[in-house]
Structures are given as C-alpha cells and as structure tokens.
Amino acid sequence: MADYFTDSSALVKRYVSEVGSAWMAGLFDPSLGNEIFVAAITGVEIVAAIARRARGGAITTADAASICSQLRSDWVSEYQVVEVNDLLLQQAMSLAEVHGLRGYDAVQLAAGCQLNQLSVRSGLSPVVFVSADNELNAAATNEGLVVDNPNLHP
C-alpha cells in the first residue's frame, strides 16, 4: 500500500490511452490498497484537456462525454481531494516564483508538498508525487518529494 499524489498530466492517462496509461491503471489495482490524492483543480484540468482533444478531433465528442462522465463518477469514489485554501495558494505563489512554474502547476506542487508534509509528520511514508510534466517533476524533486513519471513506464 502506498499513497500517491497525481497531477492532471498523469491522471489523464487513466482516461485516455497514451504512454504510461497501463502503469497509471496499475496504481488503481484494488489488491494494492493504494490511496490516490488529487488537488481540487485536477478535475477541471482533465475535463479541459479532454474537451480540447475533442475539439481538435483527437477523440470523438461521444468519447469525450463518456470520459468526463467516468471522471465525475470516479471523483467521488476513488480520489482523496486536497482542497485549495489560502495557505495552499500562498505556498503555490512562492513555488511559482522560486521554480518559474505555470499557475496550476504551482498549485499542484503546493498540494503535493502539503500532503507529503502531513504524511511524514504523522509518521507515515512519504507520498509519491506522480506527474508526466518534466519541469514540474524537477521542481518537486527540488522540494524534496519522491517523484515518479508515468511516461517512464511505457
């Protein structure tokens, strides 16, 4: 059993077949007992990515609707949602400044950092930060997080 914090670039692979999708699906194997944490903004980012793919013709409108419906169902039953609050946003601003991150990437990193700090302070294992974004992963590593990239698991 392990705890994973997944950003949208990793979690979208659960819904759209691409490099790393099989590995991401494996994290959800019930026999492993993994806990999957996501920032509250992750759902919005995934829906936006799916809608863009549908508008660009990479997937059908029907497939996009089905994926978004599945995400909404999974959202309430399979993910532990890290809420975005003032403290998290303050940390995200600092991380954006230090690492030159895009806005939502800084929020993702702040959520992962806060979750990891809580876990370690509670005497639990570190949380694994999962992202397919190399820049974000570099920043997470610099912040002391354990990082994994689904793109490295074809």
pLDDT in tens, the chain (154 residues): 899 999 999 999 999 999 999 999 999 999 999 999 999 999 999 999 999 999 999 999 999 999 999 999 999 999 999 999 999 999 999 999 999 999 999 999 999 999 999 999 999 999 999 999 999 999 999 999 999 999 999 8
- Long-range Cβ pairs for the range 59-68 (8 Å, 24+): 59/16, 67/15, 67/16
Output the pLDDT for position 118: 97
Torsion of CA 56, 62, 68, 70, to 10 degrees: -140
Structural element, H or E, at residue 38: strand 35-39
Q: Is residue 128 a contact partner of residue 141, using CB atoms and an 8 Å limit?
A: no
| Predicted structure pTM score | 0.95
Q: Is residue 12 a contact partner of residue 151, using CB atoms and an 8 Å limit?
A: no
Fold of 3-152: Rossmann fold (3.40.50)
The count of residues in the chain is: 154
Output the pLDDT for position 154: 84
Q: Where are the chain's structural domains?
A: 3-152
Q: What is the 3-state secondary structure (H, E, C) of 119-153?
A: HHHCCCCCCEEECCCHHHHHHHHHCCCEEECHHHC
Output the pLDDT for position 38: 98
Structure tokens given for 21: 């999708």
